[in-house]
Structure 1
């Protein structure tokens, strides 16, 4: 095969054009019919109703939590978005990036831009982040479970309850297999085979995409529900939590929510018993809702005219987003369509992963129409604009990148990305309200790479990617004359190799000039959507996820995490919903007796 020639002018946009834009083949998108008799539009909700549990947020934690609690209680589940079953794009792997690129008001994905300038997404759909992510499924490590104070046996049972419905073993194609062999060849050992467990070394994880490329989400876990024990309302926007007082201590009593037509509804907790309001609105939604309801930093709330129920300064603090940096590798050989399947769990604090795509011309028949050129995990439409430093990722920059991408030859759109994600991270930021609109995005700053350890781990991760690209195992998918500095310059907006004073990058063995790689990390930082914090254990909730200083109110979701679990948090967030649901039912039986 003749080598693909890429001009210097085309190279900066080459990366943003590529990833799943290079793989989206024509496919009919069909909605899936799911008969949840308890699922209705909020416009059909009664003006006033009473429940044992009111769960705000039908996301990755909220769905398994509601399904579990419905077995022995009356549960109300309020979701601000629609159903994933009414949008066929959500359930198709090949249309993964289409959802992220949809910035309409009805999109299942709501875009937000952090104060750092990194473009990000938050879910607005039943099933939460499991409806818009790249699908990798892996558990938290044993150390994480111990540190959280969870019962390991109950945790394992909860994981298996989730996995029976949503987790599948992916079949590795040649490109993913080469990434795996490259990681092993370069010392990311041992070979842990196929496993959901989080173990140092190289492994094949699970996926929420089945063999047909159909996504299975946390919403699927609602099949476990007792239909007589749950009401689920879609497009239900919670305005605020209602409180009473026990002496001077606030007690959650219910919620006020609005439907798509602006109608107001009130749901109250039943009197007596172990009844609670539970926030499961995610790392942005849960701290935002607490503040809108009067719980948070008092000065900030007063500045917006919010009556202070409880001065709790930790609300909105400890916000973190795992920084991701990626290297594009153009391939002389056809590559399969794949999302994240293989991960290298290094001992220096970075996770190495890969994903690939196929240009339509690589198909033997040659009859498929060209794929759309405007969608991809690393495309300008999804906001993953690695070729532009964060502060410059403006709408105008996106428009220029889209136009430039249209000029890239089809033959160039074949290859894949190898990425690294920083463990932790140790850099933290904060979240604050912009206004009183619960649908609007709050202001959030993550302070990427503010902590030097995060930068060190990124540099080590980029060096590890270089070693994989240079490995014999990966040689089939690299051009012989495609040097690593060129790979960096494809991805970066600045000429990395000029920072080396004419010396060869990496000396042929990896690990180039740390100063250049540090700048590369800062300038090409993106998100892998694993942001967390804002309602952390010890700051906002106790180890049972009860909000400090308040009765009958908990937060159960990723906002409580001090660090993102495993290489992808979704399995653990789903597990946590089930785990805490079982725990709450046991506590309820102790208080009210087995007849409840």
Structure 2
């Protein structure tokens, strides 16, 4: 019996867990595909199956599309689904579908997609010129397929500042929530984090709510009780299947314009399929037909530039014909900087992503995560959701996070004992960074990343808030509520400390009273939480109805139009925005009685 008790049962548990996930995935896939195509819905197909419009007339063609939505992401899917209730819609997505991707579909594999840098990955790796490693979605459903799943609405002040119709906003959020949002299974680590936040004065306790309220709360999630992810792609179930065509592996190269009139007007798009063949898709002759960009904060300004809308000198350098000279395209790019503190634990703990949040009046948000993937090899390779490989964990300063440094880091970690990968994180995120940068093309290939600069902490106010946030995070980490997880005997503590230092883990800073030291800690450990925005600002690139200034029949509907990231996580508001703008457009054409 003693020998039996001493057996290491972890590999067996992992095998059983993986088997259960696989069986559940197969069951869910069978249910999804019942009566649908191989891609989940009958209107989804590969780009290579598309037949270009019979005419190349830039004035539009009879039988063309009422709307061409470029980007099947967090905003694009609900937007296309809504518009298709009354009009013919073509949705173009450069990636594949999420439904059969196990790394996307299950919480336990969350980190694997972010660490996958292959061309087939649902995320596309990029590094800003600041040296911070980052990811952008490349899959139907967009960022909702690769994020940590947290669902929370925007700050009411954000809605008022944008100028949206509050009644329609409050109708559009539930449209999303009823289809894909769940109440989370509140994990023990998250309970301790909640109690710690309240102890340090991040109050009141607001319980479970989608609303953005000062204090401590736990919000929604797009992971169900089985750990299965539900994405914006599932919002396509609300579409009219006879009016919507979704093409996957369709990479849009540019918007085509008719320049025969007083103002250029969008006539269609040019895109390449998965085999590299080029196609043209055109709008109908109706003057209200539109191309709508929903390619995200990186993709939309990039595509505007590729289409000839942007700073004339920059476009001419790349021999791009200038359609409209606008110096503001790609400007005002911002990313919410995040810093983390790793807390080694005395035992393996249940994996949890973001569930609880502390919304402070200091302009910082506090969040937490625990546990990692189920595979030991996976853990050693990727260090859960916070690996140096994906830019989430390293004491290596950003400018030194070279490919060579990352490879060396990954090699060294393979020889570390399991204990170093056992623990959780306290995350501190700046709410509304004042520091900003820009986006510029490096070439005319739409599949390549543009050059992006965020200028983290270039505004001193951002740095002061980061220091305040780190001090709060440390107080949380030292709370009595985490003692049961983190209390270690002295030999074990020393062992963990040594190996954590060797692993370049962000532990509690040593000099908490030294502001200059904490400022350096902020600079050296800055990472992203993937909430970048801007590049197509309202009033500078698009008007109050999100129509691109200087041209006709072209809009932008996504986070590139935001001057701030809404709430503690933008996905709820971006999905709501897709629904909201779809309803607004239908009402513009059909009146308030539009059937949506």
TM-score, scaled to structure 1: 0.89
1:308 equivalent among 290, 302, 322: 322
Which position in structure 1 is the counterpart of 2:50? 45
Q: Distance between the aligned counterparts of 2:373 and 2:533, measured in 1?
A: 35
Pick aligned residue for 1:417 from 425, 430, 437: 425
The change in CA–CA distance for 1:494 and 1:108 in structure 2 (over 3 A counts) is closer
Give the drift of 1:513: 1.4
For 1:282-314, what per-residue CA distance to the aligned partner results, in whole angstroms no more than 9, with x for missing partners?
001000000000000100000100000000111
Shift of 1:492: 6.0
Higher relative contact order (CA 8 A, sep 6+): 1
Match of residue 180 from structure 2: 166
Partner of 1:531: 532
CA spacing shift, 1:23–1:189, aligned 2, 3 Å: farther
Alpha-carbon shift at residue 372 of structure 1 (Å) = 4.1
Structure 2 residue aligned with 1:93: 107
The 3-state SS of whatever aligns with 1:277 is strand
Following superposition, the deviation at residue 350 of structure 1 comes to 0.6
Tell whether the 8 Å contact from 1:24 to 1:94 is kept in structure 2 after alignment. Answer: no
Taking structure 1 as reference, are residues 158 and 496 closer, same or farther at Cα in structure 2, changes over 3 Å only? closer
Match of 2:206 in 1: 192
Q: 1:431 aligns with which of 408, 425, 439?
A: 439
Q: Which runs of 5+ in 1 are unaligned?
A: 1-21, 361-367, 499-504, 507-511
- In structure 1, which of residues 373, 376, 397 is the aligned counterpart of residue 380 of structure 2? 373
How far off its partner does 1:82 sit? 0.4
C-alpha offsets along residues 182-225 of structure 1, whole Å, 9 cap, x if unaligned?
A: 00000001101000100110000111101100000000000000
Tell me if the contact between 1:25 and 1:370 (Cα under 8 Å) persists in the aligned partners: no
Deviation of the 1:245 alpha carbon: 3.3
The answer (yes or no) to whether the contact 2:342–2:505 under 8 Å persists in 1 is no
| Secondary structure of the structure 1 residue equivalent to 2:587 | helix
1:15 aligns to what? none
Is the partner of 1:51 in helix, strand or coil? coil
- Give distance in 1, aligned partners of 2:467 and 2:519: 6
1:347 partner SS: coil
Q: CA RMSD, aligned part only?
A: 2.5
Displacement of 1:246? 6.3
Q: What is the deviation of 1:248?
A: 2.7
Deviations 1:8-62 (A, max 9, x none): xxxxxxxxxxxxxx99964555463442111000000112261000000000000
Give, in whole Å, the separation in 2 of the partners of 1:24 and 1:253: 54
Classify the secondary structure of the residue corresponding to 1:529: coil
Give per-residue Cα distances to partners, 1:71-101, cap 9 Å, x unaligned.
0000000000001113121111111111111
Q: Hey, what's the Cα distance between the residues in 1 that align with 2:464 and 2:291? A: 42
Counterparts of residues 280-429 of structure 1 (less than 5 Å): 280-357=294-371, 372-375=379-382, 376-429=384-437
In the alignment, the residues of structure 2 paired with residue 371 and residue 489 of structure 1 have an alpha-carbon distance, to the nearest angstrom, of: 20
Is the 2:372–2:379 contact (alpha carbons within 8 Å) kept by the matching residues of 1?
Answer: no
Contact 2:200–2:476, Cα closer than 8 Å, also in 1? yes
Q: CA deviation at 1:477?
A: 2.1
Cα distance 1:495–1:479, how it changes in 2: closer, same or farther (>3 A)?
closer
Question: Equivalents in 1 of 2:365, 2:507: separation in Å?
Answer: 26
Equivalents in 1 of 2:263, 2:95: separation in Å? 33
Separation in 2, partners of 1:378, 1:595? 45
Runs of 5+ unmatched residues, structure 2: 1-13, 54-62
Residues 1:84 and 2:98 aligned together: yes
The residue that corresponds to 2:75 in the other structure is 61
CA distance in structure 2 between the aligned counterparts of 1:237 and 1:369, rounded to whole angstroms: 37
For the pair 1:183 / 2:188, whether they are aligned, the reply is no
Distance 1:308 1:195, change over 3 A: same
1:223 is aligned to 2:237: yes
Shift in alpha-carbon separation, 1:494–1:238, aligned structure 2, 3 A: closer
Distance 1:536 1:23 in 2: 49
Deviation at 1:387, TM superposition (A): 2.2
Name the SS for the 1:461 alignment partner.
helix
For 2:518 and 2:543, the matched residues in 1 are separated by: 40
Tell me the alpha carbon deviations over residues 318-354 of structure 1, each in whole angstroms, 9 at most, x when there is no partner: 1001101000001124421100000000110110000
Alignment pair present for 1:588 and 2:596: no
Check conservation: 2:190, 2:356, Cα contact below 8 A. Answer: yes
Deviates more, 1:380-389 or 1:25-34: 25-34
Helix, strand or coil: the match of 1:89? helix
Alignment partner for residue 237 of structure 1, among 251, 258, 272? 251
Instruction: Indicate the residue corresponding to 2:461 in structure 1.
Output: 453
What is the CA–CA distance in structure 1 between the aligned matches of 2:107 and 2:506, rounded to whole Å? 33
- Assess if the C-alpha contact under 8 Å between 1:169 and 1:205 holds in 2: yes
Partner of 1:145: 159
**Counterpart in the other structure of 1:515:** 516
User: C-alpha separation between the residues in 1 aligned to 2:336 and 2:172?
Assistant: 25
CA 359–308 in structure 1, closer or farther in 2 if over 3 Å, else same: closer
| Distance in 1 separating the partners of 2:226 and 2:506 | 40
Of the candidates 157, 179, 201, which is equivalent to residue 171 of structure 2? 157
What is the aligned partner in structure 1 of residue 451 from structure 2?
A: 443
Query: CA contact under 8 A between 1:276 and 1:553: conserved in structure 2?
Result: yes
- TM-score (norm: length of structure 2): 0.89
Give the corresponding residue for 1:276: 290
3-state SS of the aligned residue for 1:146? helix
Measured after TM superposition, the shift of residue 247 of structure 1 is 3.5
Sort the Cα spacing of 1:254 and 1:494 in 2 relative to 1 into closer, same or farther, 3 A.
Answer: closer
Query: Does residue 1:556 correspond to 2:557, yes or no?
Result: yes
Please state how far the C-alpha of 1:479 moved relative to its aligned partner: 2.9
Q: Following TM superposition, by how much is the alpha carbon of 1:172 offset from its aligned partner in structure 2, in angstroms?
A: 1.4
3-state DSSP of counterpart to 2:264: strand
The 3-state SS of whatever aligns with 1:249 is coil
Q: Distance in 2 between matches of 1:523 and 1:138?
A: 29
Contact 1:334 1:358 in 2 (8 A): no
Instruction: Label 1:248 to 1:24 Cα distance change in 2 as closer, same or farther (>3 A).
Output: farther
| CA distance, structure 1, for counterparts of residue 231 and residue 81 of structure 2 | 14
